[in-house]
DNA sequence: CGGGGATTTGACACATATCAAGAGCGGTGG
DNA sequence: CCACCGCTCTTGATATGTGTCAAATCCCCG
């Protein structure tokens, strides 16, 4: 922790105004909006917070911000001041290596929180880009810190959200470290399906918001490999895919794809059980 | 959040006794120990906390626990109750896939915090294993929650620690997703070197606590590939390696290894700059 | 209707996995 | 003290999955 940061830690922290950057970028919602009346309350940061905290909750989110497709919510190097909850739309976060190589570290949809990687470094370390026209709730980090003092539940909930992000990344590490191309894509599709389901969309039919290249970047594969895997799944009757439109035809088949090495793929018995 | 969890979140949380599990496993230090007098204070969770918080700090860690080499600190599925700070020794955390494949998700040395992945799921999701005789400070999570209410600085510091874990994992994702074998090993060695340095050990000479297989698991490589990369580095005069003993001879050379594709490796100019 | 990015598909290259054998090292017990 | 055993590590030969390069097609969007 830097000396400055240590000072900040003990200074009284006033409720912040809207961060200058956000105002400068325009697109601030005209009317402040509140968690308490938000349809995503149960799947977002305030998840699980009870009625008695509702009034406080409304202090959490001060503004929303709209982004057009392709626009950056924040960039690596930007000063960290707020977290962002996706209200609508779809984002990717991209981390860049000094030599120019980069990788998509996550895709984020409604109710998910972005920007937590900035708390430690006090600077955003990745870029967040809207993959379609989107809207986010701006949650000034100092609000979380302040409200967290009195709201045990919010404090705990916030810890959980960060912890889940760590767990998610463990899963990605496993995927990148141990899975083959088709397994990775199957895992990815099933994960998307599950997240869409949780938001009330169809579990079996959806439009991808990202390109093959972005999928590949996330999965540690080249776009051609992703494309081939899609084709293979279609040949095998597991999915139907046309450009960005995906329909999952055989969930069990996809699950079977996960967790098997290539030479096992052909030896799967008819009842769908893996051969031990 | 489950209903139970929501209840817990609002229930008054008493200062917990020593977790039953830790007592049952024995090896609880006889005398409670305190952060305020700990040599690792500046590199551990309390980093940056000032004098006025010292008294409170001492409530943070209740016990220590000793582990022999090979012993598990916690296992996937164990109920989550505490975080652990490495006081001495060396740990690996391993995550396992349903089909039996597993991966080392991290190596942890003095001052580093383990177990944060358990907060969200309320269950540990990976195994933590001592790679040498080690000692950890047991930090009951409820203490952090309680002390965090009054100690703004601790709350913030804890967020930072979690955030840094997220950032670390982003780095691993990049490594796994975009780097070639030798780059991965170079990155790994330089990272180790840096962490040893920060703890007052030699930056250029150290003993690996883990096997080639464990390194490979962490880096998404097979042990043979790790071994070959070690040999290659030695041939090139970048390191000297004998079994677990490693000496870094050419830091710049290792850094040059990172961030280049194989066909670039031979085209590196004499002054060590990469060819654009 | 045109243009440019996205996607698909093929042929081939190459990095790493796999399989295999042997050497080195450390601990144990006679 | 030495011999043995098991585990780790190294090294070689070969297999294979994915990357690379290239070309054609598709499709969205202006």
B contact residues 29-48, partner A, Cβ 8 Å cutoff: 47-48
Q: Please, are residues B111 and B40 in contact by the beta-carbon 8 Å criterion?
A: yes
- Please give the biggest Cα pair distance in chain A: 66
Cα Rg of chain A (Å, integer): 21
A116 contacts in chain B (CB < 8 Å): 162-163, 166
Is residue B254 very low, low, confident or very high in pLDDT (cuts 50, 70, 90)? very high
The rounded distance, in Å, linking the Cα atoms of A83 and A21 is 14
Is residue A61 very low, low, confident or very high in pLDDT (cuts 50, 70, 90)? confident
Q: Please, are residues A92 and A210 in contact by the beta-carbon 8 Å criterion?
A: yes
**A231 C-beta less than 7 Å away from strand D:** no
Triad B149, B152, B158: Cα angle to 5°: 90
Residue B111 pLDDT more than 70? Answer: yes
Residue A5 pLDDT more than 80? Answer: no
- What average pLDDT is seen over chain B? 84
The rounded distance, in Å, linking the Cα atoms of B245 and A34 is 58
Is residue A260 very low, low, confident or very high in pLDDT (cuts 50, 70, 90)? low
Give mean pLDDT, residues A86-104.
93
Residue A18 pLDDT more than 70? Answer: no
Pick from A86, A90, A112, A43: which is nearest to A206 by CA? A90
What single DSSP character describes residue A35?
Answer: G
SS (H, E, C) chain B: CCHHHHHHHHCCCCCCCCCHHHHHCCCECCCCCCHHHCCCHHHCCCCCCCHHHHHHHCCCCCEEEEECCCCEEECCCCECCEEEEEEECEEEEEEECCCCCEEEEEEEECCCEECHHHCCCCECCCEEEECCCEEEEEEEHHHHHHHHHHCHHHHHHHHHHHHHHHHHHHHHHHHHHHCCHHHHHHHHHHHHHHHHHHCCCCCCEEECCCCHHHHHHHHCCCHHHHHHHHHHHHHCCCEEEECCEEEECCHHHHHHHCCCCHHHHCCCCCCCCCCC
Q: How many residues does chain A have?
A: 276
Residue B232 pLDDT more than 80? Answer: yes
Residue B25 CA neighbour count, 13 Å, CB half = 17
pLDDT > 70 fraction of chain A, expressed in percent and rounded: 82
CB spacing of B170 vs A125 below 8 angstroms: yes
Give mean pLDDT, residues B244-256.
95
Record the pTM.
Answer: 0.86
Give the pLDDT confidence score for residue A132 in this predicted structure: 95
Please name the member of A97, A117, A118 whose beta carbon is closest to the beta carbon of B174. Answer: A97
- What average pLDDT is seen over chain A? 84
CB spacing of A167 vs B98 below 8 angstroms: no
**B161 C-beta less than 7 Å away from strand D:** no
Pick from A86, A81, A73: which is nearest to A38 by CA? A86
Residue B260 pLDDT more than 80? Answer: no
Residue B197 pLDDT more than 90? Answer: yes
Q: What is the distance in angstroms measured between the alpha-carbon CA of A224 and the sugar C1' of C12?
A: 15
Give mean pLDDT, residues B84-93.
96
Q: Please, are residues A106 and A218 in contact by the beta-carbon 8 Å criterion?
A: yes
Q: How far is CA B151 from the centre of its chain?
A: 25
Residue B179 pLDDT more than 60? Answer: yes
Give mean pLDDT, residues A246-275.
67
- Closest residue of A to B103, CA-based? A174
B178 contacts in chain A (CB < 8 Å): 97, 101-103, 220
Give mean pLDDT, residues B234-247.
95
The rounded distance, in Å, linking the Cα atoms of B136 and B129 is 12
Most confident residue range from A3-12, A15-24, A27-36, B55-64? B55-64
Give mean pLDDT, residues A100-118.
95
Residue B12 pLDDT more than 50? Answer: no
Give the pLDDT confidence score for residue A76 in this predicted structure: 95
Q: Establish if B260 touches chain A: CB-CB under 8 angstroms.
A: yes
Look at A210-214, B76-80, B82-86, B144-148 and tell me which has the smallest mean pLDDT.
B144-148
Look at A214-228, B13-27, B62-76, B228-242 and tell me which has the smallest mean pLDDT.
B13-27
Q: What is the distance in angstroms measured between the alpha-carbon CA of A273 and the sugar C1' of D3?
A: 49
B102 contacts in chain A (CB < 8 Å): 178
Residue B17 pLDDT more than 70? Answer: no
CA A126 to chain B, closest CA, distance in angstroms equals 9
The rounded distance, in Å, linking the Cα atoms of A187 and A191 is 6
Give mean pLDDT, residues B60-65.
87
Best of A173, A215, A275 to disrupt the B interface by mutation (most B CBs within 10 Å)?
Answer: A173
Give mean pLDDT, residues B62-87.
94
B contact residues 130-149, partner A, Cβ 8 Å cutoff: 145, 148-149
**B267 C-beta less than 7 Å away from strand D:** no
Q: Which nucleotides of D are covered by protein (CB under 7 A)?
A: 8-13, 16-22, 26-28
Is residue B13 very low, low, confident or very high in pLDDT (cuts 50, 70, 90)? very low
Q: Establish if B101 touches chain A: CB-CB under 8 angstroms.
A: yes
Element (H, E) at A231: helix A223-235
Helices B152-178, B212-219: crossing angle, 10 deg rounding: 90
**Which burial class, exposed, middle or buried, applies to A112 when counting CB atoms under 10 A from its CB (0-12, 13-18, 19+)?**
buried
Is residue A257 very low, low, confident or very high in pLDDT (cuts 50, 70, 90)? confident
Residue A118 pLDDT more than 80? Answer: yes
- Please give the biggest Cα pair distance in chain B: 66
Give the pLDDT confidence score for residue A238 in this predicted structure: 97
Give mean pLDDT, residues B153-180.
96
The rounded distance, in Å, linking the Cα atoms of B24 and A241 is 55
Q: Both tokens of residue A230?
A: 């899609």
Q: Establish if A263 touches chain B: CB-CB under 8 angstroms.
A: no
Please name the member of B145, B165, B177 whose beta carbon is closest to the beta carbon of A166. Answer: B165
The residues with which B102 forms a beta bridge, in sequence order, are B96
Residue A246 pLDDT more than 80? Answer: yes
């Amino acid at each position: 922790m830097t000396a400055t940061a240590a000072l900040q830690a003990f200074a009284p922290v006033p409720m912040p105004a809207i961060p200058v950057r956000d105002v400068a970028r325009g697109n601030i919602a005209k009317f402040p909006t509140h968690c308490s009346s938000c349809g995503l309350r149960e799947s977002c940061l305030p998840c699980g917070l009870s009625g008695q905290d509702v009034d406080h909750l409304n202090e959490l989110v001060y503004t929303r911000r709209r982004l057009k497709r392709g626009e950056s919510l924040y960039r690596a190097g930007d000063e960290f001041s707020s977290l962002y909850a996706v209200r609508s739309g779809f984002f990717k976060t991209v981390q860049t290596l000094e030599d120019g190589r980069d990788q998509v570290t996550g895709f984020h949809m409604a109710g998910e929180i972005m920007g937590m990687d900035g708390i430690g470094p006090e600077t955003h370390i990745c870029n967040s880009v809207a993959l379609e026209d989107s809207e986010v709730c701006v949650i000034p980090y100092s609000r979380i810190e302040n409200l967290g003092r009195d709201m045990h539940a919010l404090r705990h909930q916030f810890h959980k959200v960060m912890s889940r992000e760590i767990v998610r990344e463990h899963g990605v590490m496993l995927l990148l470290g141990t899975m083959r191309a088709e397994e990775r894509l199957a895992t990815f599709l099933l994960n998307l399906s599950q997240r869409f389901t949780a938001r009330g969309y169809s579990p079996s039919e959806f439009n991808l918001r990202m390109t093959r290249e972005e999928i590949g970047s996330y999965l540690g594969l080249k776009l051609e490999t992703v494309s081939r895997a899609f084709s293979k799944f279609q040949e095998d009757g597991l999915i139907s895919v046309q450009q960005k439109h995906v329909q999952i035809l055989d969930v069990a088949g996809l699950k079977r794809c996960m967790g098997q090495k290539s030479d096992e793929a052909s030896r799967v018995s008819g009842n769908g059980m893996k051969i031990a």
